[in-house]
């Protein structure tokens, strides 16, 4: 059981570091590590808060930035979708 807990905490830390270094979204981080979005989100919002508050603060800035930009990204994706269909 101890090994599982250690692996979970190491994973949470690795995910946080990756998100900060690459200014990455939860979805792209999940794709990179080969795990679900739900796991990434839980690790960086709940587990990381207890493990490494300093890293959690940096990750929360990235998450907030992504949240503020999501409507723009969605609009760009829709624009590209209909642009491809038109051609």
Please give the torsion angle defined by the CA atoms of residues 27, 74, 66 and 25, in that order, rounded to the nearest 10 degrees: 20
Q: State the residue range of the domain holding 26.
A: 2-86
CB atoms inside a 10 Å sphere around CB 24: 19
Return the pLDDT at 1: 46
Q: Which two tokens stand for residue 65?
A: 């930035």
pLDDT tens sequence across 24-48: 999 999 999 999 999 999 999 999 9
Our count of domains for the chain comes to: 1
Sorting pLDDT into bands at 50, 70 and 90, what band is 5? low
Predicted pLDDT of residue 3: 56
Model pLDDT for residues 53-72, shown as the tens digit of each residue: 999 999 999 999 999 998 88
How would you label 35-65 residue by residue, b for 16+ Cβ within 10 Å and e otherwise? Answer: eeeebbbebbbebbeebbeebbebbeebbee
- pTM summary value: 0.82
With beta carbons less than 8 A apart as the criterion, state whether 29 and 19 touch: yes
Give the pLDDT band of residue 77 (cuts 50, 70, 90).
confident
């Amino acid at each position: 059981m101890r090994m599982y807990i250690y692996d979970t905490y190491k994973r949470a830390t690795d995910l946080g570091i990756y998100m900060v270094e690459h200014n990455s979204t939860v979805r792209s981080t999940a794709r990179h590590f080969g795990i679900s979005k739900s796991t990434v989100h839980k690790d960086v919002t709940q587990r990381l808060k207890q493990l490494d508050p300093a890293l959690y603060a940096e990750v929360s800035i990235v998450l907030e930035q992504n949240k503020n930009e999501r409507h723009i990204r969605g609009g760009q994706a829709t624009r590209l979708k209909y642009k491809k269909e038109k051609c």
